[in-house]
Amino acid sequence: MSPSNGSVSAELNCGGGSAAPSGSGRSRESLSAFSLLEVLAVLVVMAVLAGTMGMTLRHPGGAVGLQSGQTTLASLCGAARLQAALRGQNSRVVIAADPADVGCYLRYLQVVHEDLAHPGCWLAPTAGVLLAPGVFVVPPPAIGVPGNPAWPAARHSTALATPAQGMAIDGAEAGPHYFVHFTPRGTTGGGTLILAAGRSAGDDSPVLDNPDDVRGVLLRPSGACTMLNDAGALGL
């Protein structure tokens, strides 16, 4: 992703200094167990990304692309929830929110976890994934939907924190993101994540035309999610 234009900044020190020393009383056994959990968490995210990228390549757009995007979104939330529980750390699914980055805006998603050595900073165990062309995450409430000022207020992604926040990922400023936050217990604030079909305008910015051409994921406070397969299922 291209960096933010400076309108949103992380204002965090996320590296460059010496890491906090580990506790001298930590046993080799506990270190080994922690390392195994880290490896397992990374493998889970890698498996999810491999599956979602395969679906994107097989179903590059249209109604099937919207369906594969829904599966991708649910899988990433599941991976972030599991990673939070395995690591005992805060975890997020982050969504690119810089309109100037037209290739990634509302389409690039990534799982990250908090850097314990630099609280407030985030580490990405793997690269993120792009949703299929023509598939976009609908912004949270109070944020305008690209190209459609008449978009129904009830069909926004209520699970996303607002406003978009600058985040430091892997020690570098990564620009503004929306995100779903999972606690070390795997819980979250709940709400909906909604995907919509769209198209590119002349300047390649997205236009979301039809608020009925949507799919979604319902996130429960426990962190579990349920597929919402059409506008009727959204109950909106």
Q: Is 21 within a domain?
A: no
Q: Where are the beta strands (DSSP E) in the chain?
A: 91-96, 108-114, 122-123, 129-130, 135-137, 165-169, 172-182, 191-197, 199-200, 206-207, 214-219, 225-228
| pLDDT recorded at residue 31 | 39
Overall average pLDDT of the 223-231 stretch? 88
Give the range of the structural domain holding residue 139, as residue numbers without chain letter: 29-234
Residue type, 91: S
pLDDT, residue 6, reads 35
230 pLDDT more than 80: no
* pLDDT in the model for residue 44: 55
Q: Is 80 helix (H, G, I), strand (E, B) or coil?
A: helix
Domain-embedded: residue 137: yes
In this predicted model, what pLDDT tens digit does every residue of 96-109 receive, in sequence order?
Answer: 999 999 889 999 99
Angle (CA) 181-184-185 rounded to 5° is 100
How many residues can be counted in the chain?
Answer: 236
Tell me whether residue 5 is in a domain. no
Mean pLDDT of the chain: 79
- Asked if the structure places residue 200 within a domain, the reply is yes
- Nearest CA among 130, 111, 127, 1 for reference residue 60: 130
The answer to whether residue 161 sits within a structural domain is yes
Position 21 scores a pLDDT of 41
Q: In CATH, what number is assigned to the domain containing residue 72?
A: 3.55.40.10
Q: Is the pLDDT of residue 146 over 50?
A: yes
Tokens 């985040």 found at: 167
Report percent pLDDT > 90 for the chain: 50
- What pLDDT score does 205 carry? 84
Query: What confidence score (pLDDT) does residue 33 get?
Result: 45
* 8 domain-assigned: no
Counting the structural domains of the chain, the total is: 1
C-alpha distances out from residue 162 to 98, 101, 156, 173, 179, Å: 13, 19, 12, 18, 9
Read off the pLDDT of residues 21-74 as tens digits, 9 standing for 90 and up: 444 444 444 434 445 555 555 555 555 555 555 444 444 455 678 999 999 999
pLDDT at 86 over 50: yes
